Structure formats: structure tokens, C-alpha cells
């Protein structure tokens, strides 16, 4: 990948001193004859929480699949720290520090909790010193994951438990803990609280706040507008694959968002 600290994308008269952490330019995705996403452009700054709202089928998960390397866009481009970047597989996004909680969670049910926390992140050095580093890395990872799980008030006493034996909420918590532990640049959350109890939902919002304070950007897909209005700096509305509005939090109300989501208010 090219140098990540190339700030040449900044226009000279722009007040920002840094390129956005992530910039989407005209992203589109078609599946056969169906346009799932069309001409979506936005920028994301470090430490910013951008909520993404829209009806079922609006294209939210499609956008996240492009940003997480699970889908290749049909049109447009993606810039990471001002550098055009092509994600061909999820590991490419992982490599630049983008971690994702998928709507379908994407946990391997036959693996135990600890192995799921490591899924897809094998350390390449395996011999000699590499093995030692890997061991240290694993121990830190399990400790970090335990902390993240405790942070959202979910108790999983034994990380060796097979994942299929856990409840839906516990599985969701594991997916969140995994992503929070691994994100360095951006955290993408697709309906992260859908399976969680009231207390755990609140803790996920607190966790998002802590992640943002570390300068990590967050994209939160949610149908829960009160949560969105509480935590987001900006709110992007997708309708039928198009970005119809991006509002600052103080411009947004539940009524206005519903009008934009359903098409009652023209963008
Ligand atoms: N792999 C795929 N193949 C074909 N069509 C797809 C695929 N993925 C998504 N679509 C279609 O793209 C459109 C957008 O879907 P997407 O999953 O992005 O919606 P969403 O906004 O996440 O909806 P929800 O709120 O229900 O999760 C839908 O019409 C969907 O059927
Ligand atoms: Mg979705």
C-alpha cells in the first residue's frame, strides 16, 4: 500500500490540516440489474462518529461491505488518508486498521470464543522470535477482548466456550469486542445493538464514545434514531442507494430524519 501519510489531497485553501481518514468518491454498486448503491460521496475525520440511516434495502450494508473489503465497488473510489486505496478482500481493510461488526455477525459457530476473536488475523511470523511475539500478542489480545466484553457488561466466563452455545446477545458482544480491539483507524458497526438488552445497548454507546476519543472514526448503521441522535456527530441518510442528506447532529430531529428516510422531505 502507498504511504498513508500523504496529505497532498488537501486543497491549499482548505482549513483542514489533515486529509480525512477515509473519503468515498462516487461509490456505486450494482448486482446484475439492481443498483444497490449509487454515487455516494462523503469524508470521515479521525474521532468522528457518522451515523448511517435508511430504510431496509437502502444500501447501508452494501456501503459497509465496500468499506470493509467484502465487495468491490462498481464505480467510484476510496481514499485512505488521502491515498487512493483498493480493497480486494477483507484483510486489505484490516491491514489499514478498519474493523467491522457485520449485520450477520460473521462468527464461526464451531470455533470457541477466543478463536473467534482471532479469526482472520493470523500473525505471519511463526518461528523462533515470531512464535514468542505471537504468544505475547495472543495473551494481550485475549486480555483486551475480556476488557472489551466487560466494558459492554457481558459476562462470558470461559473464552473456550464453543460460540454456538452462546446467546444471540453474547455473540453480538463478541463481534463488537473483536472489532473494538482491532480497530486502529475506523470502526464500522452494522446494527451492533439489535440483539442486545437495554443495559448492554447503553454500554455499546459508551464504548463508541471511548473509541472516538482515541481518534478512531466510527460509522454506525442503526435504525434506532434516539441512539443516532445521541452519539453521532453527523447523520447520513441513504434512500434507494443514494445519499440524500448528511446532517450535523444539531440540524437533525427524529421527524426530519424519518421524513428524509421515507422520502417525505426532498433532500
Ligand atoms: N450480494 C447481493 N446480491 C444481490 N443483491 C444484493 C446483494 N447485497 C445486497 N443486495 C441488494 O442491494 C440492496 C441494498 O441492500 P443492503 O443490504 O445494502 O440494504 P440495507 O440498507 O443494509 O438494509 P437493512 O436495513 O435491511 O439491513 C437490496 O435491494 C438488496 O437486495
Ligand atoms: Mg443492512
Which among 34, 52, 100, 192 is the best mutation to test ligand 1's pocket, defined by most ligand atoms within 8 Å of the CB?
34
Which grid cell sits at 129?
A: 522470535
* 104, pLDDT greater than 80: no
Ligand 1 atom nearest to 58, measured from its CA: 21
Where along the chain do its domains lie? Answer: 22-108+168-262
- The DSSP annotation for the chain comes to ---TT--TTS-TT-S-SS--SEEEEEEEEEETTEEEEEEEEEEE-TT-EEEEE--TTSSHHHHHHHHTTSS--SEEEEEETTEE----SHHHHHHTTEEEE-TT----TTSBHHHHHHTT---S--STHHHHHHHHHHHHHHHHHHHHHHHTT---S-TTSBGGGS-HHHHHHHHHHHHHHH-SSEEEEESTTTT--HHHHHHHHHHHHHHHHTT-EEEEE-S-HHHHHHH-SEEEEEETTEEEEEEEGGG--HHHHHHHHHTSS--
Give me the CATH code for the 22-108+168-262 domain, please. Answer: 3.40.50.300
Give the predicted TM-score (pTM) of the model.
0.85
For ligand 1, is residue 227 a contact (CB within 6 Å)?
Answer: no
- Which residues are near ligand 2, the ion (C-beta closer than 5 Å)? 60-61, 103
Q: Are 221 and 213 in contact (CB under 8 A)?
A: no
Alpha carbon distance 159, 6 (integer Å): 41
Q: Would the pLDDT of 38 be above 80?
A: yes
Whether residue 141 is predicted with pLDDT greater than 90 in this model: the reply is: no
Q: Which atom of ligand 1 is nearest to the CA of 54?
A: 21
Query: How confident is the prediction for the chain on average, in pLDDT?
Result: 84
pLDDT at 121: 59
Position 8 scores a pLDDT of 40
Summarised one tens digit per residue, pLDDT across range 216-247 is 999 999 999 999 999 999 999 999 999 999 99
CA distance 218 to 51: 8
The label of the residue with cell 448503521 reads 221
Q: How far is the CA of 58 from the centre of ligand 1 (A)?
A: 7
Whether the CB of 20 sits within 6 Å of ligand 1: no
Please, which residues have CB within 8 angstroms of residue 166's CB and are 6 or more apart in sequence?
A: 113, 156, 174
What is the distance between the alpha carbons of residues 252 and 249, in angstroms, rounded to a whole number?
A: 5
Q: Is 59 in the pocket of ligand 1 (CB under 6 A)?
A: yes
How many whole angstroms separate alpha carbon 171 and alpha carbon 40? 31
Strand duo 75-80 + 83-84: pairing: antiparallel
Strands 83-84 and 98-101 come out as unpaired
Tell me the C-alpha distance between 182 and 137, whole Å.
12
The x, y and z cell numbers of residue 220, run together, are 454506525
First-residue to last-residue Cα distance in the chain: 37
Q: Is the CB of 8 under 6 A from ligand 1?
A: no
- pLDDT band for 172, please (50, 70, 90 cuts): confident
Please report the sign of the dihedral spanned by the C-alpha atoms of residue 15, residue 18, residue 22, residue 28: positive
Asked if pLDDT for residue 28 goes beyond 90, the answer is: yes
58 lines ligand 1 (CB under 6 A): yes
Q: Which ligand is nearest to the CA of 66?
A: 1
The set of cell numbers assigned to 227 is 441512539
Tens of pLDDT, residues 64-93: 999 999 999 999 999 999 999 999 999 999
How far apart are the C-alpha atoms of 251 and 187, rounded to whole Å? 24
Looking from the CA of residue 103, the nearest atom of ligand 1 is: 27
Question: Which has more confidence, 26 or 151?
Answer: 26
Amino acid at each position: 500500500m502507498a504511504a498513508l501519510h500523504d496529505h497532498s489531497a488537501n486543497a491549499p485553501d482548505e482549513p483542514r490540516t489533515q486529509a480525512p481518514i477515509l473519503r468515498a468518491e462516487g461509490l456505486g454498486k450494482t448486482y446484475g440489474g439492481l443498483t444497490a448503491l449509487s454515487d455516494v460521496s462523503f469524508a470521515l475525520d479521525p474521532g468522528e462518529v457518522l451515523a448511517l440511516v435508511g430504510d431496509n434495502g437502502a444500501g447501508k450494508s452494501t456501503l459497509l461491505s465496500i468499506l470493509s473489503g467484502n465487495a468491490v465497488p462498481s464505480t467510484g473510489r476510496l481514499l485512505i488518508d488521502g491515498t487512493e486505496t483498493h480493497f480486494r478482500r477483507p484483510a486489505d481493510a484490516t491491514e489499514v486498521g478498519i474493523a467491522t461488526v457485520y449485520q450477520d455477525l460473521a462468527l464461526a459457530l464451531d470455533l470457541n470464543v477466543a478463536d473467534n476473536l482471532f479469526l482472520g488475523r493470523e500473525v505471519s511470523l511463526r518461528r523462533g522470535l515470531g512464535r514468542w511475539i505471537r504468544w505475547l500478542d495472543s495473551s494481550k489480545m485475549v486480555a483486551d477482548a475480556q476488557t472489551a466484553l466487560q466494558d459492554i457488561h457481558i459476562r462470558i466466563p470461559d473464552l473456550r466456550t464453543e460460540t454456538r452455545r452462546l446467546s444471540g446477545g453474547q455473540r453480538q458482544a463478541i463481534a463488537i469486542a473483536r472489532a473494538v480491539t482491532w480497530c486502529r483507524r475506523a470502526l464500522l458497526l452494522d446494527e451492533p445493538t439489535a440483539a442486545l438488552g437495554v443495559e448492554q445497548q447503553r454500554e455499546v454507546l459508551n464504548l463508541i464514545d471511548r473509541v472516538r476519543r482515541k481518534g478512531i472514526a466510527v460509522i454506525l448503521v442503526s435504525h434506532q434514531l434516539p441512539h443516532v441522535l445521541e452519539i453521532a456527530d453527523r447523520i447520513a441518510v441513504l434512500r434507494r442507494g443514494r445519499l440524500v442528506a448528511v446532517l450535523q447532529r444539531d440540524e437533525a430531529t427524529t421527524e426530519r430524519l424519518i421524513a428524509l428516510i421515507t422520502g417525505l422531505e426532498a433532500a
